[in-house]
Amino acid sequence: MTGSAHKTFFGPQRGLVAGNMSAGTGLEKLWIEIKGRAFPGSTSNHHLGTLLGLLLATYEMNEFKKEYQTQVVKNARAFARALSERGIAVEGVPADGFTETHQVVIRVRQYGTGEDIARRLEECNIITNYQALPDDESFVGSSGIRMGTQEMTRFGMKEKDFSQLAGYLADCIKLNKPVKDEIRKLRQKFLSMQYCLPLEKSLPLAAKLITSILPANSYVREFADNLKGLSKA
């Protein structure tokens, strides 16, 4: 299975190749081939500096995957439903909740191109991605906007908060209303990252990882000991 990090799977921007081809099975040779072709085969320029971040994100994903992923989809459906109720054309089947992922896609052609609306929203502190829809002639004249709920879900937003956000977004799109102040006030309520390992778990883990990948010397050991001490403070 291939995928990417930094979206629903949080962490630094990296590619993922996952498999369950364990040692001793007939597929073990294939997995060795996949790893070799990924590195150093075709991606020998991958950034080692972000690898540790990906590992820690994986620990947190394993810890919170069910709770986090469930809330991401709940928020996306609430967001899509609220946008539709405010007169915004939402892609997807209403009876199925419009979406089964973190993504919500809307049509904005009657208010401007996707690029125009994306810029208007950005001026109000709402970051989106203009998106060509299947019946658009090209990406240049896109009529869609694509949004995701995963980032603000991780900062603690729930369904009612995305419904409130949908109201601001609809006002900006339909009425060209400046909602920057409202967005700033809403964002200030969600400043603490959720679905994270607590300090008492994460700092000893980080210390263990550091001592396992860096050369053993007094400075590394002292730094690792300091991390462990912080977790107890």
- In tens, the pLDDT along 212-222 reads 766 666 655 66
224 band by pLDDT with thresholds 50, 70 and 90: low
Average pLDDT (64-80) is 97
Which own/partner contact pairs does 44-51 have at CB distance under 8 Å and 24+ positions apart?
Answer: 46/14, 47/12, 47/14, 50/12, 50/13, 50/14, 51/14
Residues 103-117, mean pLDDT to the nearest whole number: 96
Average pLDDT over residues 33-56: 80
Radius of gyration of the chain (CA): 22
Residues 6+ apart with CB under 8 A from 94: 81, 84
pLDDT value of position 220: 57
Checking if the pLDDT of 21 tops 90, the result is: no
Q: How confident is the model at residue 96 (pLDDT cuts 50, 70, 90)?
A: very high
DSSP 8-class letter at 26? T
- Asked if the model's pLDDT at residue 94 lies above 70, the reply is yes
- CB neighbours of residue 144 within 10 Å: 24
* Range of 8-22, 35-49, 174-188 with top mean pLDDT: 174-188
C-alpha dist (Å) from residue 24 to 29, 32, 36:
9, 12, 18
Tell me the whole-structure pTM to 2 decimals: 0.83
Token pair of 53, please?
A: 């971040």
The pLDDT value given to residue 91: 97
- Per-residue pLDDT band at 229 (split at 50, 70, 90): low
Which structure tokens are listed for 168? 């601001």
Answer yes or no: is pLDDT of 232 > 70.
Answer: no
**pLDDT confidence of 55, banded at 50, 70, 90?**
confident
Show me where the domains of the chain are located: 2-51, 64-187, 199-232
Among residues of the chain, what percentage have pLDDT more than 70? 90
Beta-carbon contacts of 215 under 8 Å, excluding residues fewer than 6 positions away, are: none
**What is the tens place of the pLDDT at every residue in 154-208?**
999 999 999 999 999 999 999 999 999 999 999 999 999 999 888 777 777 777 7
Give domain 64-187's CATH architecture. Answer: Alpha-Beta Complex (3.90)
